[in-house]
Structure 1
């Protein structure tokens, strides 16, 4: 906890921090006390921000303190350039700073924070390699949050830590989370969400208070009500209010476009960050990962997935610190479920009535000469049953029709006291909307319903429009539908135009599309468009642009799910298979491996209907995802079947792919001779084809196999060849993999400083590429380097982070390697018996979990273990080691995290 009385007196420090040029910690107490006194006297606000760089220890660990010092100096230059002359920046230690903002309200401080976050995150720090870093900030404001200097610092500091738990790269204020002002992909969504959020909250103060109160005493709360009543908006607002209240943050999981209940476990797995244990694909959540969670999970649109609802009970059973907020039109009918029916907005005849206030707020943003009339507005809101979505849609139409005309066009009078079914009201308004559209607009609106999640102008032109429509013509047509509320824009001037359709409106449009008889044709166009997108992205998996294409698939994932689901439902197995064959890399690299296995398993149920080359692609993807999650038997079966087909077809590229992937499985099963034969044959095929990229991958796998076999010279030679190839290939991920292999080889041979350099460069690349597996491998290697250099605090931090990532990925071998490293941390910091327990647990789990492959870093870890064992008697070591043999994975993880936390606190 920070305190304004913790610093040195002003007389024994200089004004400026000598390293960074920020004000010295010694001056903070007096300056903050003076500013609080001035704010109290003048009545002006005062804000205080506590901030630091995320993962700054990794910079020092990977590149040394001189590089870290340069980063800090550059950081202060950036911060000073983006604050006012009256603001004061203090360095209080390490990478931690305090920013005092006189005359600044909470809202103004949020704007400053958004600018600072963007300034740091969007411009890499110079050096080799350039480093992309982020900030976490906590903000407190006088007098709303606190009225004394110490209390302001304490609240801001606690919010800084909460911002880290919520995901880093953000600020936290009393109003909620602040993201970077120019964060890619967030600006347009944030703007749209803000408008929607304001509408959702008009007249909802009572509901918000009641939901918060019920959630305080319930672990599972379901918001129910008809489509369009505002369940999603309320849930998202509650999520933002509580974002800093849970130690592990808040997770938002929209399920509107998940097509099957069987997919829910995999989607939950990816969202909550727990991997699939060895040999399993679709199962109950693992207690060892979730037991200690303190988290709010907001699950939106559970309506079509109610068969998966019992999984929520299982989650709550294994994670006592978990709370779940669900939106669904009807209760889930689970034990322990609390239900909150979200009511329509109250209707009245004054502007303060919630329904009327919403209508006026929405109508005011439309440029219309048909100004709303008070009595007619109240009557129209009553006719619409107070349903927010219907009210917003009606308000949008005021740009073209007077309110009286709208009211007269709807059946029923909306008289005071008259019962109105909100669902009927929305349907009536949509029927009227359809009638007043032109034939061309009707056709366009119903066709647009095939899109799930959103679409670009380019996609609409290909799927919905008839040639020769130009992009400007299509954009103008979409804008016209957006003006009357049937679709919504979700992007800003900084991004290409994008649109979406509210769920309840989309349901009505889909029903009309079926009536037109052209639904199958439009769905086929939709699938063809997204198949082309996925195949193009797959073609770029080698090269500098692969991350950009992965990001594109992320943006369109709801549409890709929709195309897959519709193709399978209609029996178009070839289209589904072609999609699955090119999406497996995306599923692997973006954490959707469990869901991907479900899709591919469904496709392979019809494998006899597939062309052999596509069947082989699907089998390969299924095999890689099974290997990724530790299901070695399934992985081997799938990959051997793929190799048999590729060999029969004489497809050299496919054969090389299958040989390499099968070699990885064989290596992990401990069959080194077979693995080496597969890698060697793969390398021959790649050299014949001149495939430099593939050769680098295979040489890296051979180098690591040589490490496992104890052949140091061969490992070094092949790692050198692997890395040399990347100098001529413009592919950052390929270079990251080569650097990781190089670091492993150097570490195995005891060259810790050289290993640290290679792994540090790899870590920077892996984190910038959002590659969790390579990031985890680098963190593990750097942790072992720090351990061997007796930097226990750094080792604890690095290995603790690696442990969390391996747990999320579900990689048992990586998890055991990190556990073994943390055993070394315990031993080198004096907790020798805890070390023995962890070593015993690692041994038992390694033998009992089907992990046949020895740990890749075992020689470095064994050197550490040997130095620890001699500190106690053989009897004491043996007894504690035996206790570790009996530990469950959950218990071993808890002990390891305790070790990491203890060492970090000591630092």
Structure 2
């Protein structure tokens, strides 16, 4: 769609402004115009007609007011169906009352919706006389709603952006926009809280996909809740979403929402506040912010102790232990994590128990205790059995590979490293992918392909810094040792070139390169003199 739309835009623009052409100064703005106008030929022609008087960047910026902007006034009044608003008015006029009501309501969705979401906006008393599914089907048949099949999450629907803005105007004119947005926020609170539970089990991949597709809807629900002062709803949404923000690398955005909620929502319930504090701690510790992490955890610990909430206490103690690792206080981390495990067991929460082992694995890696790392990984995998969430499985599986790798058992390590990497690839877990790409670089180095090793190191670090994650304490040690050896072998200039090549590698290419390395088994162990170059315990 984009190439044809862009061609049409440039052709029509050059007709009203001779000499107009596509170049690096306007290509992004033109692509934005075509995308925002859904590739609709009439809308694009109307936008192109403005190029004689307005810069394309100005047109792109003002498309939220497209019905006034694209009214054909630069050429005088246009006949019926030759303005965007006229086409929308005509199509809307052909709808029956039930279709109009549903069409207007659907405008509050941002980026798409499911049938269940659409039904949540219509009163139950009206569903029996004109079921939403049938009404929605008619809107699809009339090309007012787009239907799309998603491989993981099933069928979804969306309004074209121009029609969505038209629907929002209709809701505003009937004084129904705020009510519909509140219903929308209420529905996505339910989605977020269901997801928070589902993300702890085997359906994690499905729900990560669902949350990714509905991320703009969830943002809108947060905005609505904050705007009307319903900080309890905002806190419950954010307190449910932080595992998704963590896995998909939305650390800074998640922290911005949480900071606003904690600052403005002084009267939210203890339960909601505890969840938000745990979210703040989780995202802050990954970004290497110990002050915020400790402050949030200590408040969460106080609330949990006061209510006897052993599960939340165990959760907060895990982040305190993780934060202590970043600060080099390994004995303190050990104490926090042992207490966390005890509380998880007392709470009979197998999910928290398995995650306590993940954090203990991290501590063992900080201490370069690779045999203990493998033992803890096995305990983690057995703690919650078949109901364990894939992310937890991914970390434990990578840890098994690391345990073998840094003990010199390379043949045994590769299958675990590969399996763990594949888990994070399926989940879209960016922090796990960055570590997996680094471990693939270690494999390249061990095979004597130092150039590829440095490319993968550069790609791993680019991904980690792009999502704003601080390096694991043990990763700093591994990276320093690998970098020093590779720099000595290649020389400073070639090392810098290969690192830059990796830094500029698209994520998909970096993942493919790492996969090709981890897919290839080791034929034999390294010779003793090469094992001596593996990272040491100091």
Question: TM-score range, shorter-chain basis?
Answer: 0.7 to 0.9
Aligned-partner Cα distance in 2 for 1:451–1:677: 47
State TM-score, norm by structure 2. 0.76
Query: Is the counterpart of residue 205 in structure 1 residue 11 in structure 2?
Result: yes
User: How far off its partner does 1:507 sit?
Assistant: 2.9
1:46-80 CA distances to partner (integer Å, 9 max, x unpaired)? xxxxxxxxxxxxxxxxxxxxxxxxxxxxxxxxxxx
Query: Is the counterpart of residue 440 in structure 1 residue 440 in structure 2?
Result: no
Aligned-partner Cα distance in 1 for 2:530–2:224: 50
- Secondary structure of the 1:450 match is coil
Aligned-partner Cα distance in 2 for 1:557–1:717: 38
Query: Is the counterpart of residue 709 in structure 1 residue 378 in structure 2?
Result: no
- Secondary structure of the 2:157 match is strand
What is aligned with 1:328?
60
What is aligned with 1:165?
none
Aligned-partner Cα distance in 2 for 1:386–1:490: 34
Contact conserved, 2:205 with 2:426, CA < 8 A, in 1?
no
1:623-645 CA distances to partner (integer Å, 9 max, x unpaired)? 21122222222222222222221
1:478-506 CA distances to partner (integer Å, 9 max, x unpaired)? 23334555x32232598855332233433
Contact conserved, 2:358 with 2:396, CA < 8 A, in 1?
yes
Aligned-partner Cα distance in 2 for 1:621–1:639: 10
Aligned-partner Cα distance in 2 for 1:385–1:543: 55
Residues 1:528 and 1:706: Cα distance change in structure 2 (over 3 Å): same
User: How far off its partner does 1:573 sit?
Assistant: 1.0
Aligned-partner Cα distance in 2 for 1:650–1:586: 27
1:167-196 CA distances to partner (integer Å, 9 max, x unpaired)? xxxxxxxxxxxxxxxxxxxxxxxxxxx5x9
- The farther-off stretch of 633-642 and 460-469 is 460-469
User: How far off its partner does 1:425 sit?
Assistant: 4.5
Aligned-partner Cα distance in 2 for 1:788–1:802: 17
1:705-729 CA distances to partner (integer Å, 9 max, x unpaired)? 1332355554454333234446544
User: How far off its partner does 1:651 sit?
Assistant: 0.7
Contact conserved, 2:285 with 2:293, CA < 8 A, in 1?
yes
Contact conserved, 1:224 with 1:329, CA < 8 A, in 2?
no
Residues 1:644 and 1:826: Cα distance change in structure 2 (over 3 Å): same
User: How far off its partner does 1:835 sit?
Assistant: 7.3
Aligned-partner Cα distance in 2 for 1:802–1:769: 17
What is aligned with 1:645?
303
Aligned-partner Cα distance in 1 for 2:330–2:429: 27
Query: Is the counterpart of residue 687 in structure 1 residue 345 in structure 2?
Result: yes
Q: Please give the residue correspondences for 1:56-205 in structure 2 after superposition, counting only pairs within 5 Å.
A: 194=1, 205=11
Residues 1:866 and 1:679: Cα distance change in structure 2 (over 3 Å): closer
What is aligned with 1:821?
482
1:662-707 CA distances to partner (integer Å, 9 max, x unpaired)? 2111111111122111100001112223333322221232233133
From 475, 480, 500, the counterpart of 2:158: 500
- Secondary structure of the 1:813 match is coil
From 25, 28, 41, the counterpart of 1:218: 25
Residues 1:611 and 1:831: Cα distance change in structure 2 (over 3 Å): same
From 221, 238, 245, the counterpart of 1:587: 245
From 654, 661, 685, the counterpart of 2:312: 654
Residues 1:693 and 1:510: Cα distance change in structure 2 (over 3 Å): same
Larger radius of gyration: 1
1:712-748 CA distances to partner (integer Å, 9 max, x unpaired)? 5544543332344465445433221112222333344
Aligned-partner Cα distance in 2 for 1:476–1:430: 22
Aligned-partner Cα distance in 1 for 2:480–2:288: 17
Q: Please give the residue correspondences for 1:476-491 in structure 2 after superposition, counting only pairs within 5 Å.
A: 476-485=134-143, 487-491=144-148
Query: Is the counterpart of residue 634 in structure 1 residue 300 in structure 2?
Result: no
Aligned-partner Cα distance in 1 for 2:166–2:445: 61
Aligned-partner Cα distance in 2 for 1:786–1:425: 60
What is aligned with 1:864?
533
User: How far off its partner does 1:833 sit?
Assistant: 8.9
Q: Please give the residue correspondences for 1:523-542 in structure 2 after superposition, counting only pairs within 5 Å.
A: 523-542=181-200
1:276-302 CA distances to partner (integer Å, 9 max, x unpaired)? xxxxxxxxxxxxxxxxxxxxxxxxxxx
User: How far off its partner does 1:514 sit?
Assistant: 3.2
State TM-score, norm by structure 1. 0.47
- Secondary structure of the 1:598 match is helix
Q: Please give the residue correspondences for 1:341-380 in structure 2 after superposition, counting only pairs within 5 Å.
A: none
- Secondary structure of the 2:201 match is coil
What is aligned with 1:763?
421
User: How far off its partner does 1:603 sit?
Assistant: 1.1
Aligned-partner Cα distance in 2 for 1:660–1:774: 18
User: How far off its partner does 1:755 sit?
Assistant: 3.0
Residues 1:217 and 1:582: Cα distance change in structure 2 (over 3 Å): closer
What is aligned with 1:233?
39
User: How far off its partner does 1:657 sit?
Assistant: 0.9
Residues 1:424 and 1:603: Cα distance change in structure 2 (over 3 Å): farther
Contact conserved, 1:531 with 1:578, CA < 8 A, in 2?
yes
Q: Please give the residue correspondences for 1:273-422 in structure 2 after superposition, counting only pairs within 5 Å.
A: 328-330=60-62, 385=72, 418-420=76-78
User: How far off its partner does 1:783 sit?
Assistant: 2.4
Residues 1:326 and 1:689: Cα distance change in structure 2 (over 3 Å): farther
From 808, 826, 831, the counterpart of 2:466: 808
Contact conserved, 2:249 with 2:431, CA < 8 A, in 1?
no
Residues 1:683 and 1:424: Cα distance change in structure 2 (over 3 Å): same
Residues 1:752 and 1:519: Cα distance change in structure 2 (over 3 Å): same
- The farther-off stretch of 606-615 and 759-768 is 759-768
User: How far off its partner does 1:812 sit?
Assistant: 3.8
Aligned-partner Cα distance in 2 for 1:764–1:779: 11
Aligned-partner Cα distance in 2 for 1:625–1:327: 38
User: How far off its partner does 1:459 sit?
Assistant: 1.3
User: How far off its partner does 1:618 sit?
Assistant: 0.7
- Unpaired runs of 5+ in structure 2? 45-55, 64-68, 499-528
User: How far off its partner does 1:571 sit?
Assistant: 1.0
User: How far off its partner does 1:621 sit?
Assistant: 0.6
Residues 1:832 and 1:752: Cα distance change in structure 2 (over 3 Å): farther
Aligned-partner Cα distance in 1 for 2:156–2:21: 37
1:69-121 CA distances to partner (integer Å, 9 max, x unpaired)? xxxxxxxxxxxxxxxxxxxxxxxxxxxxxxxxxxxxxxxxxxxxxxxxxxxxx
Contact conserved, 1:755 with 1:785, CA < 8 A, in 2?
no
1:835-869 CA distances to partner (integer Å, 9 max, x unpaired)? 7999xxxxxxxxxxxxxxxxxxxxx99963999xx
From 232, 252, 260, the counterpart of 1:602: 260
Contact conserved, 1:777 with 1:802, CA < 8 A, in 2?
yes
User: How far off its partner does 1:523 sit?
Assistant: 2.0
- Unpaired runs of 5+ in structure 1? 1-193, 239-323, 332-342, 345-383, 388-416, 839-859, 868-907
What is aligned with 1:242?
none
Aligned-partner Cα distance in 2 for 1:555–1:480: 24
From 446, 453, 461, the counterpart of 1:795: 453
Between Structure 1 and Structure 2, the one with more helix by share is 2
What is aligned with 2:491?
831
Contact conserved, 2:287 with 2:469, CA < 8 A, in 1?
yes
Aligned residues: 485
Aligned-partner Cα distance in 2 for 1:701–1:614: 25
- Secondary structure of the 1:467 match is helix
Residues 1:327 and 1:652: Cα distance change in structure 2 (over 3 Å): farther
Residues 1:504 and 1:207: Cα distance change in structure 2 (over 3 Å): same
- Secondary structure of the 1:543 match is coil
User: How far off its partner does 1:470 sit?
Assistant: 5.7
Aligned-partner Cα distance in 2 for 1:625–1:515: 41
What is aligned with 2:524?
none
Aligned-partner Cα distance in 2 for 1:229–1:769: 28
